[in-house]
Amino acid sequence: MKAYIFPGQGAQFSGMGLDLYENSTLAQELFEKANEILGFHITDIMFEGTADELKQTKVTQPAIFLHSVILAKTLGDDFKPEMVAGHSLGELSALVANGVLSFEDGLKLVFKRALAMQKACEAQESTMAAVLGLDDVIVEEVCKNIDGVVVAANYNCPGQLVISGEISAIDKACTVLTEKGARRALKLPVGGAFHSPLMEPAREELAQAIENTTFSNPICPIYQNVVAKAVTNPSEIKENLIAQLTAPVRWTQSVQQMIADGGTEFIEVGPGNVLQGLVRKIDRSVATSSGAALK
């Protein structure tokens, strides 16, 4: 069974999407429509921008979404998802790909999400750190016993868990985790504590926009970050998407469940190949490939 997976923030690169724009009229139309919806020429930044310009949250999130969704749409009849999932931001790309959201509504929600997260980051200094080489339960236990806000945020693959929270709490946690035997516990170059309680103001802001958006019946199940299992009911999909900003991304558990439900081939649709690497670390027996290779 084919599973299509969609990347999140961090996969951006200068020149992303240019090949799609140059080789497909449909892609051109969608990129131009995106410029119109966003009110600025995101295509200029995607195709020619510097790494710093691409790193702004208000650019990064729509850019990755557009690359992923437009690539999926240009695959035409080759794109036949039987199950989908997206890592963090990628969940919105997956929801457009499986017919729950329209292209326009998906892009508007992504932009709203980016601005709300940016605002929450500016309101309170916070960060994230990658912890390598420890069991999840040890990391969770350490976070629980640290003063201040620090939580497990991204279950990326066995032995790779990202924690999120206040800077002082993250620093303390990194020290303790290293003492407990972590191979590495290093802070990430991100502007905020995504998937932690510190994103509550952004969650509230986005909840309003999600409530007012039409969610249709999907053409195939989506394995959502919050619950790590197949969801097809539009109102449940809404609830999980609202909860996502302050809840952990259960990527390891989602991929394991997709495999248990018959997923044998994981195709990453969007910039980069990070998710293919994570899937291989979760289970070496499944095939992985890039959606770009299907073109």
Catalytic residue numbers read 88, 195
Strand pairing of 230-231 and 222-223?
A: antiparallel
The two three-digit tokens of residue 83, written as one number: 């199950």
The two three-digit tokens of residue 142, written as one number: 């350490």
The two three-digit tokens of residue 218, written as one number: 């999907």
Residue 62 near residue 68 (C-beta atoms within 8 A): no
Q: What amino acid is encoded at 248 in this protein?
A: P
Residue 192 near residue 287 (C-beta atoms within 8 A): no
Burial bucket for residue 254 (CB in 10 Å: 0-12, 13-18, 19+): buried
How big is the chain by its Cα radius of gyration, in Å?
18
Residue 118 near residue 89 (C-beta atoms within 8 A): no
**Residue 169: how many CB atoms within 10 A of its CB?**
22
Residue 199 near residue 246 (C-beta atoms within 8 A): yes
H-assigned helices in 49-102: 51-55, 57-74, 90-97
From CA 24, how far away is CA 22, in angstroms rounded?
Answer: 6
Please work out, in degrees rounded to the nearest 5, the angle formed at the alpha carbon of residue 254 by the alpha carbons of 184 and 274: 50
